[in-house]
Amino acid sequence: MTIGISDIAFATAYQVLDLQQLADAQGIDVGKYYIGIGQSEMSVPFPDEDIVTMGADAAAQIIARHGADGIRTLLFATESGIDQSKSAGVFVHGLLGMGERCRVVELKQACYSATAALQFALGIVARDASEKVLVIASDVARYALDTSGEPTQGAAAVAFLVTADPALLEIEPVTGLHTDDIHDFWRPNYLSTALVDGKYSLAAYLGALEGAWGEYRSRGGAAFADIARFCYHQPFTKMAVKAHDRLCKVAGAELDKEQRLAQIAASLQMNRRTGNSYTASIYVGLLSLLERDEADLAGERIGFFSYGSGSVSEFFTGVVRPGYRELLRTARDAATLDDRVAIAHARYRALHEAVDAVQGSDYETAAETPGPYRFAGVVDHVRRYETRG
């Protein structure tokens, strides 16, 4: 029995800040962002958008195509949790009107947890081939204003359906793991923005890649030459370029710069425009690869490196199924990015500052998002969500 991903869908916030705006406000050359870190835009949520509204937006596309029957598990991966107890997935479950016979759990380990959700889903389906598992990865990446992390902010969600006999991507069984108790990136409970030791985090990422790849190969994983394309966690797209350069060196792959870039270039295009989406970014990369790569990838093996600071990482592979292009929502996803409302730096900054201003208070949000779901505010410390008419 083969198991893997049968469908994948994308959503993001409905506002966008071009990093030219940020560069102009800071009085620097935008090339530092466009070229230096490989980012051109960042998605910025309306006040009535969050991880639940984006996650529901992505998951609704899966439900619309496949229905909710047979989905007995919903796994929600995020590091932008909205409640210390209740899973964000339960809110999505309610918005989508899914049945009561469903387990819903939220998973957290920095940017890695969507891959943990995928692995858990594979195990559930392996036990019972009739099971279907809906995985949602949704995050809003926030850093303090006027810090080095500010231009790498962003927001997006991905939902994917894990089943037997997958229609999109068969996940292969061999994985390589690497865990190390470090402090390269973290967010204490009392902060709404993350803290990061940038240089240390980049070094930790590359070290974890070497460790995960080494174990993957030691357990009988495919040789580098047998992997056609690669997807990496993308805190910013230039990080994926650095990571692939390192992997090529470690694996002894004698490829020139153009050949190395060809193996990952298509996977970078969507993340370049959404900004960092933490748990979702590697799977936004997968969707970008499948939609944007000009080659026919049917039957080709894709390598994945998932990294979550703190740190946990995993290297694994999947094989693209024939007919995969027929399942993609390429035009819709392009429109989702193109149709975002462009905002000026002043509005972005005001929205950023307003997040902490309402912590711990009851409040209502104005209906601003054009998306199908909205966060209506907090009443008696309970978050309220609505489906837009």
Q: Tens of pLDDT along 93-144? A: 999 999 999 999 999 999 999 999 999 999 999 999 999 999 999 999 999 9
- CB burial readout 22-56, b (16+ within 10 A) else e: bbeeeeeebeebbeebbbbbbbbbbbbbbbbbbbb
Question: Do 78 and 190 fall into the same domain?
Answer: no
Asked if residues 374 and 365 have their Cβ atoms less than 8 Å apart, the reply is yes
Instruction: State how beta strands 169-179 and 3-12 pair.
Output: antiparallel
Q: What is the mean pLDDT of residues 357-364?
A: 80
Apex 348 CA angle, 346 and 354, nearest 5: 100
Asked if residues 355 and 193 have their Cβ atoms less than 8 Å apart, the reply is no
- Which of 323, 352, 379 is the last residue before a domain boundary? 323
Apex 143 CA angle, 140 and 144, nearest 5: 140
Catalytic positions are: 79, 111, 233
Asked if residues 126 and 3 have their Cβ atoms less than 8 Å apart, the reply is yes
CA distance 140 to 336: 17
- The pLDDT of residue 185 is 86
Question: Do 31 and 144 fall into the same domain?
Answer: yes
Question: Do 264 and 288 fall into the same domain?
Answer: yes
- Which of 295, 323, 351 is the last residue before a domain boundary? 323
At 278-292, the pLDDT tens digits run 999 999 999 999 999
Question: Do 151 and 179 fall into the same domain?
Answer: no
Q: How far is CA 154 from the centre of its chain?
A: 10
- The pLDDT of residue 335 is 98
Structural domain of 262? 170-323
Domain count, the chain: 2
End-to-end CA distance of the chain: 42
- The pLDDT of residue 358 is 66
- The pLDDT of residue 192 is 87
Residue 7, CB half-sphere, CA atoms under 13 Å: how many? 19
Residues 6 or more apart whose CB falls under 8 angstroms from that of 121 comprise 73, 75, 133, 135, 162
Q: What is the mean pLDDT of residues 290-311?
A: 97
Closest CA to 92 of 164, 11, 190: 11
Question: Do 10 and 111 fall into the same domain?
Answer: yes
Asked if residues 277 and 155 have their Cβ atoms less than 8 Å apart, the reply is yes
Helix pair angle (19-26, 345-357), 10° resolution: 90
Question: Do 147 and 70 fall into the same domain?
Answer: yes
Q: Which two tokens stand for residue 149?
A: 């992390």
Asked if residues 146 and 106 have their Cβ atoms less than 8 Å apart, the reply is no
SS3 letters across the chain:
CCEEEEEEEEEECCEEEEHHHHHHHHCCCCHHHHHHHCCCEEEECCCCCCHHHHHHHHHHHHHHHHCCCCEEEEEEECCCCCCCCCCHHHHHHHHCCCCCCCEEEEECECECHHHHHHHHHHHHHHHCCCCEEEEEEEEEECECCCCCCHHHCEEEEEEEEEEECCCCEEEEEEEEEEECCCCCEECCCCCCCEEECHHHHHHHHHHHHHHHHHHHHHCCCCCHHHCCEEEECCCCHHHHHHHHHHHHHHHCCCCCHHHHHHCCHHHHHHHHHHCCCHHHHHHHHHHHHHHHCCCCCCCCEEEEEEEECCCEEEEEEEEECCCHHHHCCHHHHHHHHHCCEECCHHHHHHHHHHHHHCCCCCEECCCCCCCCEEEEEEECCEEEEEECC
| Residue 359 pLDDT exceeds 90 | no
Question: Do 182 and 298 fall into the same domain?
Answer: yes
At 180-226, the pLDDT tens digits run 999 988 888 888 888 888 788 889 999 999 999 999 999 999 999 99
> What's the chain's average pLDDT?
96
Q: Which two tokens stand for residue 343?
A: 């905002």
Q: What is the mean pLDDT of residues 157-167?
A: 98
Phi-psi bin for 301: left (phi > 0), alpha (psi -120 to 50), beta? beta
- Which of 286, 307, 323 is the last residue before a domain boundary? 323
Question: Do 139 and 96 fall into the same domain?
Answer: yes
Question: Do 205 and 293 fall into the same domain?
Answer: yes
| Residue 357 pLDDT exceeds 80 | no
At residue 296, φ and ψ (nearest 5 deg) are -80, 115
Find the CATH number of the domain harbouring 255. Answer: 3.40.47.10
Question: Do 185 and 288 fall into the same domain?
Answer: yes
Question: Do 162 and 188 fall into the same domain?
Answer: no
Residue with tokens 């710069």, as numbered in its chain: 257
Asked if residues 201 and 309 have their Cβ atoms less than 8 Å apart, the reply is yes
Question: Do 201 and 280 fall into the same domain?
Answer: yes
